[in-house]
Amino acid sequence: MAARILLVRHGQTEWSLSGRHTGRTDIPLTEEGRRTARLLGDRLAGRPWDGLRDAEARTSPLLRAADTCRLAGFPGAKEWDALLEWDYGDYEGRTPAQLQELRPGWSIWRDGVPNGESPDDVAARADDVVAWARSAPRDVLVFAHGHVLRMLGARWLGLPPSFGAALRLDPASLSVLGWAYGEPAIERWNDTGHLG
């Protein structure tokens, strides 16, 4: 069983800055996103992480996550489609305000999206990541996206997909899922202390 699974949300993009849902559109990091990815790498290189030399790293293949991974000091991470962001289908590129005008009361965590993924679809991918992490002989580190990482947090805890709505994640944040008294636990969530 892995001692921990460390989660990193990618750095800032133009769409994350404006609040647009960014699923499979391959948006690059802004210069600020690149800067914060390097700051995260500096933090992981120091104590108590010591570069996570023994951790197995994986990343979403999308540019914003893969570049965050590389800039943080993990260029050899394996790309994994299970870490792709939620497929927002017809809602790709829209803001939450636009979606509330279109469908008052809509929640991605309950309703999913037309021509995209349902909460159960994303939960199934998150369950694959959880199973991999729990079978790993050492810590694992993943670089991915806000919604899929929130789903991963919910599924690590054994909670329904809708619990992901309660787990906020900022760009370039660090979260750690581990164990407390033999039960899955959140050790750290949405930590941005390295950003000053």
* CB 54, CB 138: distance < 8 Å: yes
Is 147 among the catalytic positions? no
Among 21, 56, 85, 145, which one carries the catalytic annotation? 85
21 is an active site residue: no
Largest CA distance in the chain: 48
Burial of 90 (0-12, 13-18, 19+ CB in 10 A): exposed
Q: Which residues pair with 59 in a beta bridge?
A: 79, 143
Nearest C-alpha neighbor of 174 from the set 160, 187, 155, 161:
187
Q: Find, among 151, 145, 147, the residue nearest to 62 by Cα.
A: 145
Please state, in angstroms and rounded to a whole number, the distance separating the CA atoms of residues 20 and 13: 10
The residue annotated as part of the active site, out of 10, 21, 145, 147, is: 10
Within the chain, strands assigned E span 5-9, 56-59, 78-79, 140-144, 174-180, 183-191
Please check if 23 is assigned to a binding site. yes
Query: Which residues are identified as catalytic?
Result: 10, 85
Binding site residues for substrate, as ranges?
22-23, 64
Binding site residues, as ranges?
22-23, 64
